[in-house]
Each structure stands twice: as C-alpha cells, then as structure tokens.
Amino acid sequence: MSHLPDAVASLTPHRRKLIRHAVKAMYVASEIMPETKIFASRVMPIQEDQLPAMTIYCEDEEVDLRSHTTAPLELERLPVLSVCAHLAVTADGNIDDDLDDYCRAMERVISLDDQLRGTVESCKLIRTDTAISGSGNTLVGTARLSYLVKYYEGAPRAEDVELDDFDRADIRYNTGGDQEAGDQAHDRVGLADKNQPLADGESEPE
C-alpha cells in the first residue's frame, strides 16, 4: 500500500524500482530457495525466528557526466544493486558454510540473466560482504552481494511532466537583417474560443 500523494504514486515507476522487483521475480521464479522470504526493499519486516530472508535494494547511483552531452539526452546511470541473505545463526550449524552456499545460489540466479529481465544493460558482481549481527542467543548472519548495474535513462517522459495547456503565443521575428525591437514583425496567436473573440492583434491559427 502506497502512502505517497496520488500525483507521485501515479508517475511512471523509477527504473531502480523496476530493477528491484525484477530481481525479486527472478529469485521467486527460480525456486532455488523456496523457504526464503524475499523483499524488494532494504527493510525486512519479520522476526529472526522467521528467517531465512532476502532483501534487494539499490544503493548510491552515479551518473556518467559525459552522457549529459548526448542528443537527445540519455544519461548513463550506475547504481549499486545489493542482494542480501539473512540467516539465523544456530548452535548446531556453521553459519559461514550456510552464507557461502546462499551466495553461490544468489550468484547463479543473477548470472542466468545479467540484464535483469530487460531492466538494465549490464549487471556485474563487484563485491561480497559478510557479517554477524545481534547479541546473546539472537544472532543473524548476513551476506551481501554488490552488483554494479548500468542503465540508460532519457529525458522525462511527456506523461510524467504536467504542463499547462497551450493558450496563446507572443511571437517576434526579424523579416531581414538586424532590426530594433520596435521594427520586428509581431504576431500573437491564440486558440480560438467560440465564446471569446480574439483580442486586437491576435489571429486564429490556420
């Protein structure tokens, strides 16, 4: 359930959102970890006794500044995608073995489709981090795979930009050579309204 204003929630989804949900769908479809709860978010709304779980989210995103010079504008964007496994530490198990096994499984799914269901140009593993958190009898082992993702994003889509309807235009132009502002040709064009006559100097578009 979205808690965003309707005007925000109705926009075309950001590419990072599409990436997160595409990766989640890939893991669900793989059925390689059927008992694992998977969240397309860095927040894991479950208790430790409900593990194992996975979280999928995008971290900082860089933009290649050279892509600002393209025409039409198409930015090369480089977010870091994090895919994390969260496992309960048990007295009779080996958490390092378990984390390594999960890493192998998680890597395998991504390697089968490094374009993440068409949402990115490429997806490359750049780092793996492991950690143990918690205290006492409640310990959680975490393995995080970091992928450098690349995708291209053009200028905002027309449907995402709310513009005022065209009403009228004030047009000035030179008929030849350099002219003072007072000597320039001057037209004012407005949309015809049958209920409102055009003002002096305005013409109905052909």
pTM of full prediction above 0.75: no
In a domain, 1, yes or no: no
Residue 47 and residue 172: Cα distance in Å, rounded? Answer: 68
Number of domains in the chain: 2
Q: Considering only CA atoms, which of 19, 102, 114, 109 is closest in space to residue 59?
A: 19
Per the structure, the complete domain to which residue 199 belongs is given by 168-203
Q: Tens digits of per-residue pLDDT, 75-110?
A: 999 999 999 999 999 989 999 999 999 999 999 999
The more confident residue out of 161 and 84 is 84
Do 124 and 185 reside in the same domain of the chain?
no
Residue 92 belongs to a domain: yes
- pLDDT score, position 135: 72
**150 closest CA partner among 121, 174, 184:** 121
- Residues 39 and 101 placed together within one structural domain of the fold: yes
Q: Would you give the DSSP letter of residue 166? A: P
- CA gap 127, 84 in Å, rounded: 12
Residue 163 lies in a domain: no
Same domain, 173 and 151: no
Residue 39 domain-assigned (yes or no)? yes
The chain-wide mean pLDDT, for the chain, equals 85
Residue 148 shares a structural domain with residue 172 = no
Q: In terms of domains, do 127 and 189 share one? A: no
